[in-house]
Chains A and B, each alone.
Chain A
């Protein structure tokens, strides 16, 4: 049978989310009809609206924020001499959770991948160079992932910075903490051996 149009519309919208198929979208729509009060529905709708209206990339580092500058850039006690370059805002949230890093970030919002039509000019690099050359930055840590694209991006940044007098490093990749060596796959192990560290 044909579903009411308003319900069909909502199902179509839910299906835009990753991992949501027709069946799940129908369940969600049914849930809204049966369990949401008008007030809840308004809050829900506004939350989606606001996220698009208020969230933007920090003009300084590219991290998503709802303020003029992001929390990290606004924070006076962060060490501006160390700058970590990451692929996405999500990576910043993960690293912040560890509490280990006290420097500042630069979020690229992507990696270089010519076959996906993404060159150096398509990721947030144009705002990176002036940040590095303004003399406050002494060390750059490149924390792109260890995929081919992440590796290319890291090497590219390193190459552009080769004549600038700062320390450039790459975060270590290898065996996860707490993992027994026998469960690590051979590629991870060879990476870990390659990236070994003096004790």
Chain B
């Protein structure tokens, strides 16, 4: 998968900007606040039809009525035109100028794998952060998972509303609760299986990626901790009293968690900033292998400020690896001082300054 070019119109601080990317590694160099992250955000939005940041109206340039992101992409040697139009009323997604109304049919047209500074919170942050991260990554790889997740969320909402009603009104007829609980249990069973397979698949690559990036032989596992492991129906049903008291569904995939475990110790308790970065990067590279397994194509890597807290050896290692994968990569950084000349000559370098982008000569 490659993004050949990107055209922005009234997106954040960009009035009008076109950028033609190279097929391999692309560096976006600029000071903090120069607008390089906004560019990554545009690509992210193009892929997932949502932002990783704030509310979507802010994406539209101040005093403009709409913004547009447009790109020619190559997927399986086929050229496609993707377009996203954002207005205050909402967003529109188009493939080859034909509107795609269902977002689940648009998401996945291109796969991006992103590394953002805020992704580091997945190690020490809340279970919610980890669930969000995995659902986002896996959701764009497997459409069936995305659909089941949507189904589960609706059923969960229905069940919670029903619990509120039953508990407030003292109705003792649980027929409807039984029915919705059984539907929820079926969906939960599917979701846990999806997640279990995905995580076990990722772990197959994780060790290798971690060893490669960290240069040590420590064992590293990403563990899936489902809230309910099996016998979903009976488990859900055994907690009626508790659920009615709390007026919410207290167990299930919406309470699942994941752990990063290094040498049998939880990483969230003692990993340093640098170690955390390596772990998340290893996970992202492992997930990209799953994308490759499924589509026989490399996803596009969006790496925001990935170099900070990595020493120069690791910086070069990472870039060399991505260059050899022939995976299109877009990296923002404040400078290339630590990167070997031979690598830079194989890459494309852009300077970002006051929200304008300029291509540098290749050996600059």
Mark A residues whose CB is within 8 Å of B: 112-115, 119-120, 148-149, 151-152, 155-156, 159-160, 186-187
* A154 closest partner in B (C-beta): B179
A108 to chain B, nearest CB (A): 14
Contacts A151-B183, A152-B183 given; indicate if A115 touches B175 (C-beta within 8 A).
no
In the bound complex, how far is the Cα of B164 from the Cα of A114, in angstroms? 10
A156's nearest neighbour on chain B, judged by CB, is: B179
Query: Would you give the 0/1 interface string for B145-161, flagging 1 where the beta carbon is closer than 8 Å to chain A?
Result: 00100010011011101
User: Which residues of B line the A interface, CB within 8 A?
Assistant: 143-144, 147, 151, 154-155, 157-159, 161-162, 165, 175-176, 178-180, 182-183
Q: How many A-B residue contacts, CB cutoff 8 Å?
A: 42
A160 and B162 form a contact (CB under 8 A)? no
Residue ID in chain A nearest B163 by CB atoms: A114
Cβ–Cβ < 8 Å partners of B161 in chain A: 114-115
Whether the Cβ atoms of A115 and B158 lie closer than 8 Å is: yes
Contact A148 B175 (CB under 8 A): no
Query: Taking the nearest CB of chain B, how far is it from the CB of A134, in angstroms?
Result: 21
Complex formed: what's the CA distance from A112 to B180 in Å?
10
- Say how far A168's CB is from chain B's closest CB, in angstroms: 14
Having A119-B176, A149-B158, A159-B175, one finds 13 other A-B pairs with CB under 8 Å, namely A112-B176, A114-B158, A114-B180, A119-B165, A120-B175, A148-B155, A152-B179, A152-B180, A152-B183, A159-B178, A186-B143, A186-B144, A187-B147
Q: Is the CB of B179 within 8 A of A159?
A: yes
Which residues of chain A come closer than 8 Å to B144, judged between CB atoms? Answer: 186
Pick the contact of A155 from B151, B159, B183 — CB < 8 Å? Answer: B183
Q: What are 8 A-B pairs with beta-carbon distances under 8 A?
A: A114-B159, A114-B180, A115-B158, A120-B176, A152-B176, A156-B175, A159-B179, A186-B143
Those 4 A-B pairs whose CB atoms lie nearest each other, nearest first: A114-B161, A114-B162, A115-B161, A155-B179
